[in-house]
């Protein structure tokens, strides 16, 4: 009896990348985002992180829930959380770390 092994390639969404993400989320941040996403109806597909023009002060960071990736998005998987980053924001987010800390102020 013989067996044949056929190599398979993982199925990857066209925009989904296995490259290192320009941004990191700590385990606390990932956990909190997943918790909040689970309370939404319908449950979002992931988290969008980007930069937006902030007038005279330069760029501002933005985060929102997302239901699908855009044509020019890079999609990163962080412990089961899909993180969407548009192509323009990638270079501005390089090295950013997002954390979640709960304090008395909220």
**71-96 pLDDT tens trace:** 999 999 999 999 999 999 999 999 99
Q: What is the pLDDT of residue 10?
A: 40
Q: Which domains does the chain have, with CATH numbers?
A: 23-98 (2.60.300.12)
Q: What is the mean pLDDT of residues 51-62?
A: 84
CA atoms of 29 and 101, how far apart (whole Å): 8
Q: Is 48 helix (H, G, I), strand (E, B) or coil?
A: strand
pLDDT at 74: 95
CA-to-CA distance for 22 and 15, rounded, in angstroms? Answer: 15
Residues 9-52 have pLDDT tens digits of: 444 444 555 578 899 999 999 999 999 999 999 999 999 999 99
**Where is pLDDT greater, at 61 or 16?**
61
pLDDT given for residue 54 in this prediction: 74
């Amino acid at each position: 009896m013989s067996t044949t092994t056929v190599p398979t390639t993982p199925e990857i969404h066209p925009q989904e990348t296995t490259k290192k993400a320009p941004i990191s989320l700590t385990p606390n941040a990932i956990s909190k985002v997943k918790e909040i996403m689970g309370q939404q109806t319908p449950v979002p597909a992931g988290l969008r992180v980007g930069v937006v023009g902030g007038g005279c002060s330069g760029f501002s960071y933005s985060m929102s829930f997302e239901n699908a990736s855009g044509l020019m998005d890079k999609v990163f998987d962080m412990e089961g959380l899909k993180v969407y980053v548009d192509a323009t924001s990638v270079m501005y987010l390089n090295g950013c770390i997002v954390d979640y800390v709960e304090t008395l102020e909220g």
